[in-house]
Amino acid sequence: MEFVHLHNHSDYSLLDGAARIPKYVEMAQEMGMKHLGLTDHGNLFGALRFEQACHGAGINPVVGCEVYVSPTTRQEKQTSGYKNFHMVLYCKNEEGYRNLMILVSKGFIEGFYYKPRIDDDLLRAHHEGLICSTACLGGEIPRYLVAGDYEKARDKAVEYNELFGEGNFYLEIMDHDIPEEKIVIEGIKKIHAETGIPIIATNDIHYLKKEHARAQDILVCIGTGKKMDDEKRFKMDKTEMYFKTPEQMHEMFGNIPGALENTVRLAEKCDLIIPQPGPILPEYVIPENFETQAQYLTHLTWEGIKERYNEVTDEITKRVEYELDILLGMGFEGYFLIVWDFIHWARVHDIPVGPGRGSGAGSIIAYAMKITDIDPLKYDLLFERFLNPERVSMPDFDIDFCFERRGEVIEYVNRKYGHDQVGGICTFGTLKTKAVLKDVARVLDIPFAESNVITKLIPEGKAPDGRKINTEVALEIEPKLKEFYDRGGAYKELFETASVLEGMNRHISTHACGKVIGNSVLTDYVPLYKDQKTGEITTEFTMDIIEPCGLVKMDFLGLKTLTLLKNVEGLVQKIDPDFDVNTVSEEDKSTFDMLSNGKSTAVFQFESSGMQKILKDAKPNNIEDLIALNALYRPGPLQFIPQFIEGKKNPRTIKFPDPSLEELLTPTYGVIVYQEQVMKVAQIIGGFSLGKADILRRAMGKKKLKDMEKMKVEFIAGAKKIGHAEKHASGIFDMLEPFAGYGFNKSHAAAYSVVAYKTAYCKANHPAEFWAANLTNEISDTTKMTEYMESARDEGIEILAPDINYSEKFFNVVDNKVFYGLIGIKGMGSAAVDVMIAEREANGLYESFMDFLERVDLRSVNKKVLEVGIQSGLFDKIESSNRATLLHNLEKMLDHVNSIKEQSQFGQVSLFGDNQDEITPVLTLEVVPDWENKEILQIEKDNLGFYFSGHPLDEFRTYWNKCTNLKLDKAFRASSEKDYTIMGMIKGVRSLMTKKGSKMAFATVEDFNGSIDLVLFSKTYEKYAHLLEEDKVLGFTGQVDLSRNEPSFKVKEMFVPEDMREIQSSEIHIELEERDFLTDELVDFRSFLQDRGGSSSVFLHLKRPSKKFVVKISGQISISPAPAVLKEIGRYPIVSNVWKE
């Protein structure tokens, strides 16, 4: 039976199509269809994947799009009548595909109004190679027919038939048991009878199976933000828009001659293979005195080598010649020149550039051209890890730029190659397991709290049998989820619908750092999308498939640490003009001493608490140590850190797999840390070339068993030629396999560790400037600023309040003291700050608040700015009046100063006239009492985002340190299974009645680091309601609830400060059961105690038949003396008693 489905929507019709491309193709294959269409709404997001899937299944892909056509022009925004008409366009050939790319792109870029719209002018210019059909009830001709305007419908059909040409325009009919469609069918039959324009029957498919209709309806609700029971929402009333069999279609349309057969005729006209020429480099114009790009690249390389090295040794020369031979042989000189050009531009314009990222740091040519800043010879980095002569692929430099100025480099590239040749790259967010359950639950009106419980039950990682976790697998392995499912109703539907929608595309966004450059306009290669919020234009294809289409991908990454280092450098240069962060000694003792003591807060790559512990254990004393630790501190190789540390401390313990590997593995104390070491082992033992060794590394890393088996034979054969025994060689090959998976790219680790070292150097040698730059870097993140401010003060750095005479726009340093940056004051705009500083620099320090008012432009420095400045203490150092008095008299002072300025402007009076009568009367301020310290702190928090000159909890800090075991800013990392003790100031108390008529309460508690919402259920609230007062300092024990988007704290017990004093203790005594213990039991108990950290020493009481003795646990373990913690310890299996002294 002749019929194929042409009008079909996949999940690339975002939050409308509920079917994925592979499933479409699979179903078409099952039904024996030789052709299949894809016509997503307004876009070609899925076109290439669809084409590839069809060809893989032996099906002819009919690539199309259901476009939106403006009733007038694409630029005009209709506020009444039809906003757009639907039209389906199919590509006959490559010309049609290129025209459709242009139409779709212009719809987003030039015609977007609710939908991406084209118009008849664009169709007239770009219709060649396209077939058109009249679409659904949203089409222009169907709408005229439904409206009863047959003549207009027929005339438009004739017009489009003439435009697209005989045989390239079709009248489309569909029947989903909708009354209006019956009208359209009759009208279409009449037009066909009068004009001979052929008819096609389609089903406007939005989902695969009839039973998926409700899932698709729910998907639409997700997109529109509606609930299923909303009577006013857009609804898909019928359940017929599924992948029907040819027999079903024949039952509906078999009585309309040609309607089914024409679908095949149309499809047979479509013969498209989407061009995939591979990346085509844009033309890089070289200087006139060079004949070729290869010649220019060679020139730049050798000039750079002379600049980089004092002496060009034979080793350097051979490495350069080797790399040039490979690079030029592969034809990648243009790529290197393009990258060099924009990096060179950035350096010339003083934009910080990273030393390298990824494997590119392994190239000495890149080092010579200053594409990278890491000497590959010094760090033993391999070129073949970057560019393998035995596996040709486009090189890929990922470049880090200063976070603040990255955009300037991108704009330079836009100008150089043309804005129509440079664009972003799209990426799709999908309905992942937890997200789809949350979305569907909202649509089905399942309570938010319950949906949080459900998503919390979804296991992380993989199932025990290795399967990837999805809704069905989670239901199978988690009994509590099954309990929800077994409730039936909305809960059963939740899981069934989530299973259908899971993994589908939810939204489109822009890749954070990827850009593409074309050799001509981008629409010669891919369709384009425009983000209507940001205005950014991106490809409609994702990163993994754009390069085959002819575009070159570049990554422009923004790295905050580069901005930090530049700012530190600028601050230090105020006292040491010759300071250059890029030339600091790599053997600075103070830097390594600091790192060896674990004091790496805010040090790039080394600031986590886990890394700080490892630094203390490893005691790094050179850059190579830092590179190795950076590479090892990741899942997988983390297990080898103890071996690495032991080898460093005691070299006698190091064992090498073969004596010939000693030189290679000595820098990492016998541990294979890097991918480059895996490659070198294959070279040294198996006789592999480094190119072949890289192929082996990839095969091992991706567990390509067939490739590995083949290469193992070659490895052993090569090893035997060198003189190794077969068994020995086989053992080394097997040893390499896990390391190939764990091993890290040394080029990347080296580059980032050098950046880390520079950061650490600045912290160790210029701490005030380091912390000032960090605070500037995080000026918009009050949580991070609070953390850094506390860390800086803990390290002895004095941070001073905003000062009108010494503060700059950003945090700055004067006499080793950090002054708060003016732009960090909330409400203090950039323009006002610039005016204040410019006046100060031009005419000297301000002498008083009145002097300030008289000198600055009060149009820029307005009343609101002055208010927040006074409240923040900006004028404290130049004004004897307190803040409250200044704020109270501000209106009067402004009137006075404005009056003087006005009189002076018209020559009516001089501020210091010759006669007594001309002297302006002295302004008398009404003195009011200053605010209490508590008020000052709150005002500071309101204006700065945090408490600055103190903290309301300062008087309780000792108790807080001793008695709590959870900082509130770390609550998201807490365990929901254990009890914690917290302490802080109460805010926002609110009580409510439960359904049972009892009272419960919510509040927020703030400590030195953060805040968390408290939940007091009825029994707890009844017991402690009398304590729960605004601004009161209280202690709490309870559990962290992580089931919501933000952590909350379920209170079990509460304490007033006096109680907190009582529970302080310097000693906790724990009596263990009278028996022998297994080592594992004691190790587990030690971990249990470590998780309940505090400040109290721990003494173990051990009982034996003949005697008792007391052992003090190592000072590395101290615990909280809070009652809740003591109760937990008392319940531990091997504990018989616990008390405090």
Low-confidence ranges of the chain (pLDDT < 70): 237, 905-921, 1058-1066, 1093-1095, 1114-1116, 1124
CATH 3.20.20.140 spans which residues of the chain?
Answer: 21-206+243-269
pLDDT value at residue 434: 93
Going by C-alpha positions, the residue among 694, 701, 698, 736 that lies closest to residue 716 is: 736
pLDDT value at residue 1059: 64
Do the beta carbons of residue 253 and residue 170 sit within 8 Å? no
How many Å apart are CA 473 and CA 464, to the nearest integer? Answer: 10
How many Å apart are CA 1008 and CA 1119, to the nearest integer? Answer: 20
How many Å apart are CA 516 and CA 994, to the nearest integer? Answer: 57
Going by C-alpha positions, the residue among 446, 349, 476 that lies closest to residue 405 is: 349
> CA geometry: angle at 608 spanning 604 and 614, to 5°?
100
Do the beta carbons of residue 316 and residue 377 sit within 8 Å? yes
Fold of 21-206+243-269: TIM Barrel (3.20.20)
A 10 A CB-CB count for 954 gives 13
pLDDT value at residue 1121: 73
Q: What six digits make up the tokens of 891?
A: 């209106």
How many Å apart are CA 275 and CA 296, to the nearest integer? Answer: 32
> CA geometry: angle at 380 spanning 376 and 383, to 5°?
60
What is the CATH code for 954-1062?
Answer: 2.40.50.140
Q: What six digits make up the tokens of 1043?
A: 């089931």
How many Å apart are CA 833 and CA 823, to the nearest integer? Answer: 7
How many Å apart are CA 242 and CA 209, to the nearest integer? Answer: 5
What count of residues does the chain have? 1141
Do the beta carbons of residue 16 and residue 41 sit within 8 Å? yes
> CA geometry: angle at 660 spanning 659 and 663, to 5°?
95
pLDDT value at residue 1114: 65
Q: Which residues have C-beta within 8 Å of that of residue 597, sequence separation ≥ 6? A: 615, 616
How many Å apart are CA 1128 and CA 980, to the nearest integer? Answer: 10
Coil, strand or helix at 618: helix
- Phi first, then psi: give them for residue 204, nearest 5 degrees: 45, 55
What is the layout of strands, in order, in the sheet containing 817-819?
799-800, 817-819, 812-814
Do the beta carbons of residue 186 and residue 178 sit within 8 Å? no
Full-model pTM: 0.84
